[in-house]
Structure 1
């Protein structure tokens, strides 16, 4: 039997969805079914939310930071890509590490499952509940704590939005070493927890290389202070690395210290058309050799991607239609030097017949317009019947092999298979577009993609983690000894399994 709170919450939740749609950001989209139904998941042995639990949270946070109105819960229960949906009846919004500690300590003692959530911009369902887990949102933990402009080190709370951090640093001649299409919504704590990569990884590296320290709260409420701001600190184990990419399964990140490199004084982007992927790869290798220290991003798109952008986002290629496109960005401190290097490189590419044509933008307005073509691709997914998203990394010689393989494998069963991504670090975004969602097509596509990726010596998750959507393929991605050690760590840090259950592990 359910308690009065549980019965009421479940009835109201279904009622708010009875029209078959939910609203998000001013628009209406078809809602997904509950994840537990779609994927036939069994609920873990966790307690249900009771009245006395709610009273504790309200005493700790105040009623305004305990969200139970079901019209407000929608955006926390459904992921950004509208592919998975939980049924949590409560969101907690702490403002301090101490509050997070008390929440987790209470949940541990009462065996209540918790789903940590940042900006909820992930693509693998890692930040939304599967059942009725308590959602712990970090969005009010959004304070910048300190900035050492000499060392280039910032310390901030986990809920700071990435773009806000970068704007703050811009006024001081520094930058965040991470740039994502979701930068206006994603939070630094989530970036850490998924080991985000982004479009300029070739220049700045991933989160493991830029995080200097973390503050993390374990499942039992214990606060782990690894918030060092030193760039060299080899005293014992590097514990912070355990939590980078752990997707909130080992602890909740509450504070972050990271390296802030100097902000480039000059940026330029070349948008190039190419005949085939082989020439795109040769152009990339040439860019590394000739542009060297000023090369900051290399993005690739195929013509089906550009057609998708034209149809769904009403954006045009600035150079017309070509089989492949490269976006090559440079950034540095000397405009004449950097511009000369870029144009010398482009002239050499033209004379070598590597590129067919292209355009260069240096004006900020035009430069940003070109970047919006690439960054806005995911917005078009929301107007499609369905798109399956796959974020993988591959050896560069096989980067586009999987796209061709998937076209042959899917045949006429789907509308379009297209590929784009961060060529600079081997990260491919492989997309399969259909008129409507089909479980049968997903079962046809997904095992093949991950098996083929493993055969090509790639990774089934390049920068978004395993989350819920990829968890059943962990054994395919990692050898048994590695998975066993991961499970041991999970049991050590979270013996009752309350932190982000149903994620990462099969």
Structure 2
């Protein structure tokens, strides 16, 4: 199946779970290609035409095995996971998985493929939900998963330099031991890689507080399509010594080159963290709560997320996650982080008192202990996982003015009718656009 292209990095995720009958019809169009075969290939009607790239030969495999001994994978069972996206909704037909460990190896691979006119699909943790991380046809898959070394950390400036294949959660553990945190947090943090995060300009749960990767990424090391290594791995917050080329590659999704290393500015670990889970009767009340939240919590506000009642139903049904408050049409997850527990607790108390008095929220609970904080966050982070148990999932990550965004969910429910088992909306309210 062809991958759906990601047009937006937005704050609302709208997902539709189709009924099983249609799921089977879609999956039936999966096709098989053979490396080195020159015959005609069957492709689904929605796929773009395969460009005139060469096909992999035994001579090509011999070259890759020479520079990647034991890391040129052709076993179909081992290649298959890299051909299928996380939702199992799109599938490529690559028969070769390359696993370099160094920038030099990536350079050799791309230089050779450029000379041979072989198509390459860069891949990180393969946690994307819009099909962008898997091949469309039989492209070589270049995985960065073995490029997972931390190269340097400056405890004074807070600048971390690492290879692109480092898993986000591993970087978080490393930094927390040194009293720092990553400026990026995602539900897929246990599998996603920092190179893929940068390549997709991932926003995540902390964007409201720390901004986008365009601001926190200080430098990149990249390999261009012809194998040329581009060293933009600066560790300076201000660098006026030339064009800021790295900005072109943040969000480029592997179309301009392969990211091999990243330097990123990391904030200090907060001494005080609170998470609040609230319920609202209308989306308008939710937006007013967001306005109140920004005004009263100010500098300690680090996240403002929402999910609807349909998300909660799926979380409870498929993952057995209980609703910690009474049933409501909309739910909010708010996180504060700061340096003074007493100050933060008082600001949060004042906000909650005002929100309840103004009848903006109908119920809520507060967590200050780590276990309870994780439990509340799981209600937001595991929505996508719950959706996968409910049918064949179509998921879209979009940006619209916040006052109009949930209307799209309502319209989709009317448009799809009984063709969909469920249509849900959830996302980052803090990413207002």
TM-score over 0.5 (shorter chain): yes
Displacement of 1:342 in angstroms is 0.4
Q: SS of the counterpart of 1:242?
A: helix
What is aligned with 2:67? 60
Question: Partners of 2:321 and 2:44 in 1: how far apart?
Answer: 37
Q: Would you tell me which structure has more helix in proportion to its own residues?
A: 1
Displacement of 1:393 in angstroms is 1.3
**Structure 1: runs of 5 or more not aligned:** 1-29, 427-457, 459-506
Question: Partners of 1:169 and 1:320 in 2: how far apart?
Answer: 37
Question: Partners of 2:251 and 2:231 in 1: how far apart?
Answer: 18
What is aligned with 2:175? 169
Question: Partners of 2:327 and 2:345 in 1: how far apart?
Answer: 26
Q: SS of the counterpart of 2:430?
A: helix
Kindly provide the CA deviation profile for residues 199-218 of structure 1, in whole angstroms up to 9, marking residues without a partner as x: 11100111111110000000
Question: Partners of 2:237 and 2:31 in 1: how far apart?
Answer: 45
Q: SS of the counterpart of 2:44?
A: helix
User: Is the Cα contact below 8 Å between 1:177 and 1:260 reproduced in 2?
Assistant: yes
- Aligned positions of 1:197-212 closer than 5 A: 197-212=203-218
RMSD between superposed Cα atoms in Å: 1.4
Displacement of 1:294 in angstroms is 0.5
User: Is the Cα contact below 8 Å between 1:34 and 1:84 reproduced in 2?
Assistant: no
Given candidates 403, 411, 419, the residue that maps to 1:413 is 419
Question: Partners of 1:50 and 1:302 in 2: how far apart?
Answer: 51
Question: Are 2:30 and 1:33 aligned?
Answer: yes
Question: Partners of 1:396 and 1:192 in 2: how far apart?
Answer: 25
Question: Partners of 1:168 and 1:188 in 2: how far apart?
Answer: 14
User: Is the Cα contact below 8 Å between 1:143 and 1:157 reproduced in 2?
Assistant: yes
What is aligned with 2:351? 345
Displacement of 1:412 in angstroms is 2.7
What is aligned with 2:14? none
Given candidates 361, 368, 371, the residue that maps to 2:374 is 368
Count of aligned residue pairs for this structure pair: 397
Displacement of 1:38 in angstroms is 6.1
Displacement of 1:191 in angstroms is 0.3
Give the stretch that moved more between structures: 371-380 or 188-197. Answer: 371-380
What is aligned with 1:466? none
Kindly provide the CA deviation profile for residues 470-504 of structure 1, in whole angstroms up to 9, marking residues without a partner as x: xxxxxxxxxxxxxxxxxxxxxxxxxxxxxxxxxxx
User: Is the Cα contact below 8 Å between 1:156 and 1:255 reproduced in 2?
Assistant: yes
Displacement of 1:308 in angstroms is 1.7
**Structure 2: runs of 5 or more not aligned:** 1-26, 33-42
Given candidates 218, 230, 234, the residue that maps to 1:228 is 234
User: Is the Cα contact below 8 Å between 1:208 and 1:244 reproduced in 2?
Assistant: yes
Question: Partners of 2:80 and 2:95 in 1: how far apart?
Answer: 10
Displacement of 1:415 in angstroms is 1.9
Question: Are 2:283 and 1:256 aligned?
Answer: no
Kindly provide the CA deviation profile for residues 241-274 of structure 1, in whole angstroms up to 9, marking residues without a partner as x: 1100000010000010000011111111111111
Question: Partners of 2:177 and 2:114 in 1: how far apart?
Answer: 43
User: Is the Cα contact below 8 Å between 1:32 and 1:83 reproduced in 2?
Assistant: no
User: Is the Cα contact below 8 Å between 2:89 and 2:392 reproduced in 1?
Assistant: no
What is aligned with 2:335? 329
Kindly provide the CA deviation profile for residues 47-91 of structure 1, in whole angstroms up to 9, marking residues without a partner as x: 1101111111111111x1111111111111101110111111111
Q: SS of the counterpart of 1:82?
A: coil
Question: Partners of 1:31 and 1:361 in 2: how far apart?
Answer: 46
- Aligned positions of 1:290-329 closer than 5 A: 290-329=296-335
Question: Partners of 1:274 and 1:257 in 2: how far apart?
Answer: 40
Displacement of 1:32 in angstroms is 7.4
Given candidates 58, 63, 75, the residue that maps to 1:51 is 58
User: Is the Cα contact below 8 Å between 2:281 and 2:329 reproduced in 1?
Assistant: yes
User: Is the Cα contact below 8 Å between 2:281 and 2:330 reproduced in 1?
Assistant: yes
Q: SS of the counterpart of 1:190?
A: helix
